[in-house]
Amino acid sequence: MTIFFLLLASVTLLLANSLTKKDNFLANENTETTTAYDDPFSKMMKVLTHKRCVNCHPSGNRPRQGEDSHYHNFNVLRGADNHGVAALRCESCHADENNDFSGVPGAPEWSLAPLEMAWEGLSRVEIAKSMLDPKINGGRSLEETVKHLTEHELVLWAWEPGVDAEGNPREKPPVSKEEYIKAVKEWAAAGAIIPEK
Amino acid sequence: MKITFNINGKSQSVDVDEHTPLLWVVRDVLNLKGTKFGCGKAACGACTLHVDGEAVRSCSYPIKFAEGKEVTTIEGLGEGDNLHPVQQAWMEEIVPQCGYCQPGFMMATAALLEKIPNPTDEDIDNNIVNICRCATYYRMRKAIHRAAEIKGTNS
């Protein structure tokens, strides 16, 4: 009987310890998320690391698609001009606006980001550094980068992503468009400082 | 909304909802039945035709974007004694089985040959990604190479 109670007490202690650790873990995670969410750089990067952006900033020659960022169906490839290959252009299916009947997304200049601007697999710091490097960002100044990030229709499509082929709405970035634009401008105005991590 | 465009070389105006798929207009308004409906999601390619020379999946192409453009369907590719090299090659190689998806494949191939006159097998794999449930892919590959030969000889 004593052994039974000892065992019961041990199990209870282990369970309590495990739950406490889990609670602490979640608390830390939430605290970090909240902290990270508040500064302009973090707000901006929460958007730029979202699948709506990264799916078309692949590290290879195949776009990604969907909420699980799988390779684009039908062996779709980047092509020489980032608009697809000879007879399978992005424009073969993607128009200047979403098509909610077929579920094909669309926006002006629908295409992949150049390979130099591949974001897939990069940290938020690496992405930010690449955005500011005129040697790989298409020669853009900070002002031009901000304009691209806050005004380009293809970028802003992320908040109007339409529905998929099954009619389900695509996920939007975790920060509103207005908050994101404000964050990008605030970050740039404060010197476009990129944190160490 | 009134939309005006050229189809198979002739000017055409239609008065339809601007979001109507080009495929609907081609088949149901203009009565050109060669272009086929497959999936309605731009996935299978059965509805492929050309808009300003580019292969386009017309089931997902709102008619408003066709304004002022040149649309070519399988009927406009060639007919009778004036067949396009792709159509000739398709006949020589006896490609179709049920045939339903073939116009889309032929239009995609015609667009490919304008950009890549002598495609390799890899070019074909990368560009011609339509779906054929009869799995006539092997014969199509032969026909695409044959079409390139015929086109090269004719030009």
Indicate yes or no: CB of A104 within 8 angstroms of CB of B129. no
Q: Which of residues 103-122 of A touch B (CB under 8 A)?
A: 103-104
Q: What is the reported pLDDT for A166?
A: 94
Tell me how close the Cα of A69 comes to any Cα of chain B, in angstroms: 18
> Taking Cα atoms as reference points, which of B135, B107, B111 lies closest to residue B123?
B111
Q: What is the reported pLDDT for B69?
A: 98
User: C-alpha dihedral over A109, A112, A113, A116, to 10 degrees?
Assistant: -140
Q: Which residues neighbour B98 within 8 Å (Cβ) at sequence distance 6 or greater?
A: B133, B134
Judge if ipTM > 0.95. Answer: no
Average pLDDT rounded to a whole number, residues B57-61: 97
Average pLDDT rounded to a whole number, residues B105-121: 98
A77 half-sphere exposure, CB direction, 13 A CA radius: 15
CB contact at 8 A, B67 and B15 = no
Q: 3-class SS at A21?
A: helix
Indicate yes or no: CB of B111 within 8 angstroms of CB of A95. no
Q: What is the reported pLDDT for A28?
A: 33
| pLDDT level of residue A3 (50, 70, 90 thresholds) | low
Average pLDDT rounded to a whole number, residues B71-85: 95
Q: Is the predicted pLDDT of residue A26 greater than 50, yes or no?
A: no
Please give the backbone phi and psi of residue A120, each rounded to the nearest 5 degrees, phi first. -55, 125
Q: Which of A32-36, A107-111, B37-41, B130-134 bottoms out in mean pLDDT, i.e. has the lowest?
A: A32-36
Q: CB-based contact (8 Å) between A163 and chain B?
A: no
Average pLDDT rounded to a whole number, residues A115-123: 95
Q: Which residues neighbour B123 within 8 Å (Cβ) at sequence distance 6 or greater?
A: A86, B112, B116
- The C-alpha atoms of residue B138 and residue B1 are separated, in whole angstroms, by 44
Average per-residue pLDDT for chain B: 97
Percent of chain B scoring above 70 in pLDDT = 100
| pLDDT level of residue A32 (50, 70, 90 thresholds) | very low
**Domain residue ranges of chain B, discontinuous segments joined by +:** 2-77, 85-154
Q: What is the reported pLDDT for A98?
A: 97
Q: Is the predicted pLDDT of residue A64 greater than 90, yes or no?
A: yes
Q: DSSP secondary structure string, A122-162?
A: --HHHHHHHHH-TTTTTS--HHHHHHHHHH-HHHHGGGS--
Q: What is the reported pLDDT for A8?
A: 55
Indicate yes or no: CB of B126 within 8 angstroms of CB of A77. yes
Q: What is the reported pLDDT for A38?
A: 83
B64: amino acid identity, one letter: K
B-chain residues near A88 (CB < 8 A): 55, 108, 126-129
| pLDDT level of residue A37 (50, 70, 90 thresholds) | low
Of A76, A77, A86, the CB nearest to B115: A86
Indicate yes or no: CB of A86 within 8 angstroms of CB of B21. no
Q: How many other CB atoms are there within 10 angstroms of residue A69's CB atom?
A: 14
Q: For residue A102, what are its two tokens?
A: 């077929």
- The C-alpha atoms of residue A144 and residue A167 are separated, in whole angstroms, by 36
Indicate yes or no: CB of B54 within 8 angstroms of CB of A92. yes
Residue with tokens 């300003």: B52
Give all strands of the β-sheet with B2-7 in edge-to-edge order: B10-15, B2-7, B70-72, B48-51, B54-57
CA distances from residue A168 to A65, A102, A104, A163, A171 in whole angstroms, order as listed: 14, 12, 12, 5, 9
Q: What is the reported pLDDT for A197?
A: 81
Per residue in A153-171, pLDDT (tens digit) is: 999 999 999 999 999 999 9
Q: Alpha helix (H) ranges present in chain B?
A: 22-24, 74-77, 85-92, 102-115, 121-127, 137-154
Q: Do domains B2-77 and B85-154 have the same CATH topology?
A: no
Question: Is domain B85-154 classified as CATH 1.10.150.120?
Answer: yes
Per residue in A70-117, pLDDT (tens digit) is: 999 999 999 999 999 999 999 999 999 999 999 999 999 999 999 999
CB contact at 8 A, A62 and A72 = yes
Indicate yes or no: CB of B41 within 8 angstroms of CB of A165. yes
- The C-alpha atoms of residue A78 and residue A114 are separated, in whole angstroms, by 9
B-chain residues near A89 (CB < 8 A): 54-55
Of B59, B65, B128, the CB nearest to A102: B59
Q: What is the reported pLDDT for A6?
A: 54
Average per-residue pLDDT for chain A: 87
> Taking Cα atoms as reference points, which of A133, A168, A142, A146 lies closest to residue A48?
A146
Question: Is domain B2-77 classified as CATH 3.10.20.30?
Answer: yes
Q: 3-class SS at B3?
A: strand
Q: Is the predicted pLDDT of residue A35 greater than 70, yes or no?
A: no
Q: What is the reported pLDDT for A185?
A: 98
Average pLDDT rounded to a whole number, residues B108-137: 98
Q: What is the reported pLDDT for A17?
A: 46
